[in-house]
Amino acid sequence: MDKQEAKVRIEKLRSKINDLNYKYFVLDESEVNESVRDSLKKELIALETEYPELITPESPTQRVGSALSAKFKKIVHKTRKWSLQDVFSASEIGEWFERIKRFAPNEQYDFLTELKIDGLNITLWYEEGRLVKALTRGNGVEGEDVTHAVRAIESVPLELREKVTIDVGGEVYMPKKSLEKLNERSEEKFANPRNAAAGSVRQLDPKITADRDLDMLFYEIGANNLPKQPETQEALMQTLKRLGLKTDTHFKYHDNIESVIKFCKSWAEKRDSLPYEIDGIVIKVNSLETHKKLGFTAKAPRYAVAYKFPAEQVTSKVLDIIVQVGRTGALTPVAVLTPTLVAGSTVSRATLHNEDEITRKDIRIGDTVIIQKAGDVIPEVVESLKDLRTGSERKFKFPTACPICGSAVVKPEGEAVARCSNEKCFAVTRESLIHFATAMNIDGLGEKIIDLLIEEGLVKTPVDIFGLGKEDLFGLESFKDKKTENLLRAIEVAKTVMLDKFIFALGIRHVGAQTSGLIGRFLQGRDVPAEYMKPPKTISKEVAQVSMFGDEQVKEEAKDIFPIPAVIYLMKQVDLEELQHIEGMGEKIAQSFYEWFSASENIKMLEGLFEKGVNVLKMPAVKVKEGVTGKVFVLTGTMAGISRAQAKELIVKNGGYVSGSVSAKTDCVVAGEEAGSKLKKAKELGVKVIGEGEFGEMMR
């Protein structure tokens, strides 16, 4: 900007900063996060440095004291690893508590709070007290083997104080002072301790890991042979300590939720006093028996949540607003910003979500806005500082035509998201292929390579990926012998995939990774005629060596398959109502899944994948039990000896499914005392009905 524009901007900034200072220091009011005020001051300093003749004694900057690759082997976890649901306020903590009380109303609730260390989740396996394996969290089912690096961390015992076999989890982190020392002596500068810890654990040379002064704190026990099992989370922490595993000393017991909220607020204020970074507080129901009763949703445990501290907020300027088109055709407006450091990383773009949000927040091109990382991850625009406007700002007009293909933009009634009406839009095709390649774990097939393959006319659908040959790739930009060989090998490996990953890779709207697992277990539990269970293409020895499947599984591949023709067959048999009854499936998800399989071009694509040799394998059965596995149960009424949560857990453990309503597809209704309309409907439909006693026998 020229000198006159700078003068106007400087005056606006001084006025706003002075106003914020007054409210904060005099009225004890915080209109914005303190980091927002610092961000505005930083901009003012930069402008005054560029135009020193515009500095005045009254400027806030002139106050006395003002601050001018090799791969790691993947291994299946012994105990499933879960992510926690995030909450961001006292009211959301209260809402979580009310939800779990409704789910298990007869429990006496007390809690344990633990500091949420900002590090890398690691699981250790000890056998007879000796450390044998260290795994990253990975996708929760399997993680990377980083034993060689974790052994180099001095606080991790190579031998426990008791000779037990146990699976324990915790957080590897880098203390703040260690990060400072590392950045002083290293050419590679890490933005925050978590990035430094993650990078250090993934070093191939354990000497490098040892030199970086990592530490680890433990908070979780999985599969074990402990002679006495802890009954509470508090006792669990004491057990870890007794075994010689380091725990954080700040965990605290609470007998009421108000005390929990007070604890969270107190640490939000004093977190900086710690020698390591924390990004929140983990709140857990203390009783481990209640953990079992509360169980899990499709995505997270019900018995715990992570309270996240308010995200760091800073200011930036909106240089432009562009629109991106996603794999479902959704149009997402994105603010192009002056590059700004937020929570340890530089942000130059931030989501504006949708047209309604832009209107509600009145975001304009040229505005100074507050940005933050939602959940400390995704940059978003919080609000516009309207009193900094000069009159040159421009309102954004949402496009009526797709910016990629020019087709009409539609916005279904009741939805906030606008979409491109062209299902074959280039952007939709591109994003769908990127999603497919990522979900199928095709190493080396990233965005740039997919763009190149699309431009060369080699790939239009996922089927085309598996039809690529050496003659297609060799000679393309940056493709030589080694790169061509590696990509073709990665594509061959990706031909063998678990059912849930395959469903997720299809990119069906609303169907995420967890929901894909629910659908996969539902489908593989159904009967399929033999003609649809075609044998898979033989898995080559080379593929077996680099795939996630061990030799034993490869040998028994024939019985583990759930081929694509079986998926197609079942989807022609399953009706929409049955999908809606799957536990964890909502009406919107079921509708989207059903409609996807009703489209002939999608079926043709699936058939093409099968013809190219894509082998779909069954997900590992939770447990196989005659009369339960693959069957759909409905629970109604009250049982004296078991809670509904316990009954659901038993059904799922034995490979069954729990539905919320009775239909002709229901296999069995478990009726307790005071059973109502569900029992009546079961009798009308001729569905099998059993009582509590028979249910107990069935589950033994």
Active-site amino acid positions: 116
- Judge residue 151's burial from the number of C-beta atoms within 10 Å of its C-beta, 0-12 exposed, 13-18 middle, 19 or more buried: middle
CB atoms within 10 A of CB 49: 11
Q: How far apart are CA 246 and CA 73, in angstroms?
A: 27
**C-beta of residue 420 within 8 angstroms of C-beta of residue 428:** yes
Total residues belonging to the chain = 700
**C-beta of residue 252 within 8 angstroms of C-beta of residue 271:** no
CB atoms within 10 A of CB 3: 10
Q: How far apart are CA 382 and CA 379, in angstroms?
A: 9
| Token pair in block for residue 373 | 């990382």
> What phi and psi values does residue 615 have, to the nearest 5 degrees?
-105, 120
Q: Which uninterrupted H or E stretch holds 572? A: helix 564-573
Q: How far apart are CA 548 and CA 535, in angstroms?
A: 20
Q: How far apart are CA 624 and CA 638, in angstroms?
A: 27
The DSSP-derived string for 490-516 is: HHHHTTEEEHHHHHHHTT-TT--HHHH
Tell me which residue has tokens 């700004």: 340
- Judge residue 503's burial from the number of C-beta atoms within 10 Å of its C-beta, 0-12 exposed, 13-18 middle, 19 or more buried: buried
Q: How far apart are CA 491 and CA 350, in angstroms?
A: 34
**C-beta of residue 494 within 8 angstroms of C-beta of residue 440:** yes
Measured CA angle at 180 (ends 174, 184), to 5 deg: 130
Q: Which uninterrupted H or E stretch holds 172? A: strand 166-173
Question: Whole-angstrom distance between the N-terminal and C-terminal Cα of the chain?
Answer: 76
Q: How distant, in Å, are the alpha carbons of 214, 274, 341, 361 from that of 177?
A: 11, 11, 21, 40
**C-beta of residue 619 within 8 angstroms of C-beta of residue 517:** yes
- Residues 6 or more apart from 631 whose CB is under 8 A from it? 525, 656, 657, 667, 668
